[in-house]
Structures are given as C-alpha cells and as structure tokens.
Structure 1
Amino acid sequence: MKKKILFLHSSSELYGSDKSLLNLVNKLDRTKYQIYVMLPSQGELVEKIEETGNCKVIIKSIAILRRKNLSIKGIVSYFRDFFSSVKYLKAFIKENNIDIIYTNTSVVFPGGVAAKSLNKKSIWHVREIISNKYENFIVKRIVNRYADVIIGNSKATLNSIIIDKNKGRVIYNVVDIKNDFLDSQRKNQTFTIGMAGRINRWKGQDFFVDAALEVLKEYPDVTFLIAGDVFKGEEYLKESLKEKISKSDGSKKIKLLGLISNMEEFYRSLDIFVLPSIKPEPFGLVILEAMARRVPVIATNFGGPAEIIQDEVTGILVEPKNVTELTQKIKMLIDDSEKREYIAKSGQIMQQEQFSIDEYIQNIEGVLDESNE
C-alpha cells in the first residue's frame, strides 16, 4: 500500500526552497507514495507541480510565522490563524488517511502539532537559519518538540535548530539540470555580474550594490543585475533599494529585475554570479544553479556556501559585509579570464558529481521509509 504524504509549504513562488520542494514531488517514486501538496496561494510553483501529474495540490493558507506577527496585534492574529489551521489539518489528515506530514519550512507550525495530536509521523525539513536569538529559541523548541525527524539542508542549518541530535539528518539541496544547455553560449556581449534571491534584510542586496559602485569606478561598462522580489508586506525594502541605486552614480548600470520566470536566460547572461548574504545562508541553491551553467561564483564565507565551495577552486569565498574584499575579488575575475574559466569548470564538475538528484531523492525516501517507533 502506498504511503500518503502531505507536504506543507509557505510559498507558491520559485525561490530556492520552492524549487527543492518541486524536485521532491517531481521525483519521488509514485509506486510507493501518494502525494498531496498544500500551498498558500496560486503561483508559479502550483503550475509547475501540477505539470508533474499524479499529485494533488490544495490551495489553503496555513498559519505562517512572519516577522510582522511579532507585535501584540500580530500575535493575536497569528494564534487565531494557528488554531484554525490545526483544526483544518487534523480534519484533512483524517479524511485522506495521511501517513506522513512533511513540513517544508521551519516557520509553519500547525502541521507538526496536528501530526503529533493524531500520532502521525512528522518530518520537518528546515531550510532557514534564524539568527535572532529570541526567534530561534522559540522555533527551535517547537520544531524539536513536534518533529520525529528534522532535516537540515546543510550542517549549518541543522546545527542552528537541532536539540535532540538523534532526530537530525543533513540532506543537501541539489539542482536537476539537463545536459543540453550546460554549455550554451552567453546572451550578453557586455560583461555582466548578477545575484539572485528574495529581497530581504540578510540576502545582501545592499552589500552587492556597494561593491558594484566600487567596481564601476574602474570598470564603468560592467552591468550588475539583481533578480528577486520581496515578501508581500515588505515592499518598502525594495523601494529603499531602488532609491539607493537611483541616487548613486551607477543608476544606469545596476538593474533591479524583480522576480524572473526564466532563470535560464538570467544565468546565461552572466560572467560572474555573486551570493552576498550578510547572515549565514542556510544552503544557497542559486550557487549550484550558477555552477551548473558554468558561471563562476563568489559567495560569503559562512553557512551553506562554506560547505559547498572550495575556495579559489570551485568558487571564491569572501567575508560578509567586507566591501573591499568583494570588490577586489570581482575585479580579479574581471581581469583574469583563465581564472574565471578554471573556477567555472571546476564548479560545474563538482555540482554534477556531488549534488545529484538521484542521491537526493534516495536520501529523502530513506527518511520517509524510516520506522516511526
């Protein structure tokens, strides 16, 4: 008999955690598992999952703990949604005879609570590092209390959340890349440097812009691209970034692209990819995406990137917020085409050899098939 799995996720877009979920539901063995995916709204992720077939998508907004909830009014609103979500999930689990509740983010609590109350297996796949001590304290204890298994997408992520080490597993994210476009020619004629990620306080867009402005003083023809958008309710972060760029001398050379539907075109336009996170990156799926397209990567030296990149071989690591160092490394790669090609080729080989989709799915299925006794 097939195991029935309910995946809970906090977004319907196509950022790193969304793509990792898509890989899962696309590749899991349908002869062993019947899959349900609950998402908060319509979006690109819904469309992509429905294309896989043999997978039921339910649009239902389950309570998600966001920074905006950290006020008296926000907490009241959150707990109202939380209890309503637990009630709904318990009814759904019973009605559909769900065996495993798989929560695909650390900040969606109702699934684990509903699973525990019904004595169902609860898997919590953590893809964030919560750096705020107070927030981390709360989330860590809830996740450890209500999860039977806790998966971290890197050692750094797991170490930031785990209390009971017996529950912990590290399973690195992967990208599922078809070989027919790995060596495609670049689209841009001008030298182009880009970053991709949701615009927030820690992804480092401001850090990237600061380094870009320094590079442009010496290399005025270089173009800098920023792909990604904000969470709903945090539009002010994007407006602040826009204002910073518009008031700078590099306003015509630094471009905010917003959310991009065709990331293949984006990566093929780049000569260098930068992941400038100023707080520990849980994993950094965009690093592997760039490597797979043979684009050399520069990333900050902590969290997941430090576990992925061998410095000066498969990529370059720099200290977070160190504008001078990031600027120097970018200039070095602009000037040294042989170094760029060496790092790009080494990164691509490493991505193909060490981060395969088959091993990823095998590891996940191993967790799904573990006894819950």
Structure 2
Amino acid sequence: MTGPAPARVLLLDHTAKLSGGEQALLGVASALHGGAATARAIVFEDGPLVGRLRALGIDTALLPLGSDLNTTSRSRALSPKGLLRGAGALAGFVPRLARSIRFSGAELVVANSLKSAVFASLAAPLARRPWVWHLHDRLAADYLPRPLAAAMRLLATWGPRAIVVNSSATAATLPRRARAKATIAYPGLMPDAFAPAPAQESASVVGLIGRISPTKGQREFLNAAALIAAEHPAVRFRVVGAALFGEDEYEAEVRALPDQLGIGDRVEFTGWVADPGAQLRELTVLVHASPVPEPFGQVVVEAMAAGVPVIGAAAGGVPEILGADDETGTAGTETAAAGIRHTPYGVLVRPGDPNALARALSDVLNDPAGRQARAAAARRRARESFTIERTAAACLGAWGRALGSVRNPRPMGVRGVTVPR
C-alpha cells in the first residue's frame, strides 16, 4: 500500500538575498523536495537564493519584476510615487506570473515574503491554484509601517488557504479569522548548525549578527559596548552584516558611531559574510539587540545550537526561544528593575535600552561559569525544539490542509537528519 503522492508545490520569493526568511525556505525545501514534496521555484530577481535552490535540485526560474520594487524600502514603497509604480508593476507582472504558475504544473503555490504574497494573492486565483503564505513578519504597526500592516492583515484574512508562521508572537499579530488557519513552524536548523563552537583561545569577542538596519539594533549594541568598554578593556566588539534593503544611510551612521563613542579601535565591522556561522562560533557572547519586537530571532537559535551564550531582546519571538515561560526561579526585583531577566537558556533585556544591555553584558562577562551552563542547556533545547525535521513536518501538514486533504504530517518522507550531540 503506497502513501500519499508527493505534493507538487511552487515556491515564490521576491528577493534572492539570503535573509532569514530565505534561509528558512531553503531548510524546508531541502528537507521535503524529492520526498514528501516535489518543488519548483520562481524568484523575482537573480542572486544567491537562486543558486542555492538549484543546488538542491529544484527547478528555479527567474521572473524579474522589471522595476526597483525589490530593493526599495517599505516606507518608500508606500509613498505616492511608490504606490503608483507598484500599481504599474502589478498590472504587468501578475498575468505573467499566473501563466508561469499554470505552466509549472504545481498544485499549490507557497509565497515566502510579503511582496510575493501580494502577487500570489492575485496570480494564484487567476491560475486556479490555492496558495499558502509562509509569514516571517509580525503584522503590527511597531514592526511595519501602519498602512502596510493593515493591508497585510486584510490579505492574511481573505487570501491564503493556510498560513505558516514562525512564532506565537507572529501569530498573535494576525486577525482572529487568519489566526484560525495558521500553523506555527519555528524555522528549523540544518544538522551542520549543531557543530559546537571551538574552545576560545583569544580575548573575548562580543558580537551582533544580522543585516544592518534600525530594526536590528546595531546602534543600541554599540552604545552598550561603550558603557562597558572601560570595565572590560580586553573585550572586543564585532558587527557582522551589511545593509540589504535600502538602508545604506543607517549603515553609514552606525559605522561612524564607534569613533564618536571613543571605541573605534575596539569595534570590527565585517560587512556581508558568506558564512555567518563561522563568525558566530568565534564569539564569546552573541547579542540580539532589536529595539522592536522581532518575529522570531534566527540568529538566537543558531547561537544556542552552537553553544554560544546569548543575550536577547525581551520582545517578539525571542522570549519563546529562550524559554521565558520555562523558568524555574525568579531573577529578583533588583534585576527586573534593571531591565534584565535570566532564563535557563540565556539572558533577556529590555528592548531599545543600551543601559540594560550594558548591565547584562557586564553580568555575563563576569560570570563565565553561569553563561556556559546556560549555553549548554540552550544547546539541548535547540536539539529538542528547533530542528529542520520538525519544521518540515509542520509545513507539510499545512500544505496538505490547504490542498483539501490532510497529508501525513509525520517526518515520513522528510529526509532524515542526524543532529550532532
């Protein structure tokens, strides 16, 4: 007796840059393609994602938008000029995308970004195909421009058959009707992410990894570094990443900040790196300093898997990751008042507060035994909760429900992964 036929899915993404959502898509595709699903992909620009998908054996086509919509910031896209340009792009692009969907032979369309979801909401019905939204953004006014958040909430309610969200924090920003069709699938890690960080032989390095953006907290991180620099003269600070989506002005401001703070000789900017995991494993402490609630916090999970101690902003998906609800004790009134909260797996700090971050950094750097104990517990948690096998099984279940028949959600058909101990 044979099992259900593999789902034929078409993956859509507007960008080929390897941001968090694209890394999550690659993980799911690598686990499911050739097993429980047969995937094809359409990407709206050329770049690293295209090569990575093709390397997985996924037939990937380019369907350029023919405008600069892929690189413009969200605020510019919502300007009168941006809206006019966007309407023109929709009118020309949607029929081409609908034809490509029909030609692909896919039975289900999976949109992996906000922009691709907008296009899928129009093109998939034209092609008479159901579509699913893999949502990596909180649809809230503190994370997106208010008009965009409102429009996306409306789209989530009436557009996709199912929604795959990356955290409970993301699900909470959906309207009730949309939340009812949502599945939580934490972005899982591939086996190589669990390779442990080597023992450090050099001076301590505290780092922040991610694209340079006001939402990622590089400014807050550097201000906190300046506050503890004198107390910890041997510690160096590292900013890993570059601006990706029209935020070059912010990057220039951030790069000038260390000299203004008097720590220019202690701060390293790596720019974009092909292997952020290698940079992660060189850190004594990984800092997540986003001043606004992030939907998930992929770099936090990656640090946990590698055994690198973590300090994270106490908002969005990060408290879920660091087990804020799993605490066995309380941090005490004085620590709470200082904007710091210890969990069994890391330290949470008040978002957007360089002073609280500086206090947390000082505590963690002064307590090597405590930070290593939390890091070891965090690594065990990552092995239990954040593997790509779990993610792929959740996605497969959501895809099956969108197709009208619940496919077997077990990891059967998901390529087996072995997580290093």
TM over 0.5: yes
Q: Percent identity among equivalent residues?
A: 22
> SS at 1:58's partner residue?
strand
> Aligned partners of 1:178, 1:326: CA distance in 2, in Å?
30
Number of residues paired by the alignment? 371
> 1:214 corresponds to which residue?
227
Cα displacement (A) at 1:180:
7.7
Cα displacement (A) at 1:29:
4.4
Seen in structure 2, the aligned counterparts of structure 1 residues 154 and 206 have a Cα distance that, compared at 3 Å, is same
The more displaced of 42-51 and 247-256 is 42-51
> Aligned partners of 1:371, 1:254: CA distance in 2, in Å?
48
CA contact (8 A) 1:116 1:146 kept: no
Q: What TM-score results when the alignment is normalised by the length of structure 2?
A: 0.83
CA contact (8 A) 2:170 2:295 kept: yes
Cα displacement (A) at 1:39:
2.0
Cα displacement (A) at 1:2:
4.2
CA contact (8 A) 1:175 1:285 kept: no
> SS at 1:194's partner residue?
strand
Aligned: 1:143 with 2:143: no
Give the partner amino acid of 1:35. A
> 1:120 corresponds to which residue?
129
> SS at 2:264's partner residue?
coil
Higher relative contact order (CA 8 A, sep 6+): 2
> 1:177 corresponds to which residue?
191
Give structure 1 stretches of 5+ with no counterpart: none
Cα displacement (A) at 1:238:
0.7
Q: What TM-score results when the alignment is normalised by the length of structure 1?
A: 0.94
The more displaced of 289-298 and 153-162 is 153-162
> Aligned partners of 1:41, 1:94: CA distance in 2, in Å?
20
Cα displacement (A) at 1:348:
0.5
> Aligned partners of 2:191, 2:259: CA distance in 1, in Å?
36
Give structure 2 stretches of 5+ with no counterpart: 324-341, 405-421
> 1:48 corresponds to which residue?
52
> Aligned partners of 2:176, 2:291: CA distance in 1, in Å?
25
The more displaced of 124-133 and 60-69 is 60-69
Aligned: 1:348 with 2:362: no
Q: CA offsets per residue over residues 275-311 of structure 1, 9 Å max, x none?
A: 1011111000100111111001010111100111134
Aligned: 1:73 with 2:81: yes
Among 15, 19, 30, the residue aligned to 1:15: 19
> Aligned partners of 1:145, 1:371: CA distance in 2, in Å?
14
Q: CA offsets per residue over residues 71-119 of structure 1, 9 Å max, x none?
A: 1111111111122221111110122222111011223310122112333
* Aligned CA-pair RMSD: 1.9
Aligned: 1:97 with 2:101: no
Give the partner amino acid of 2:59. K
Give the partner amino acid of 1:34. T
> SS at 1:42's partner residue?
coil
Among 324, 329, 332, the residue aligned to 2:360: 329
> Aligned partners of 1:326, 1:292: CA distance in 2, in Å?
22
Among 25, 28, 39, the residue aligned to 1:24: 28
Among 53, 60, 78, the residue aligned to 1:57: 60
> Aligned partners of 2:180, 2:194: CA distance in 1, in Å?
41
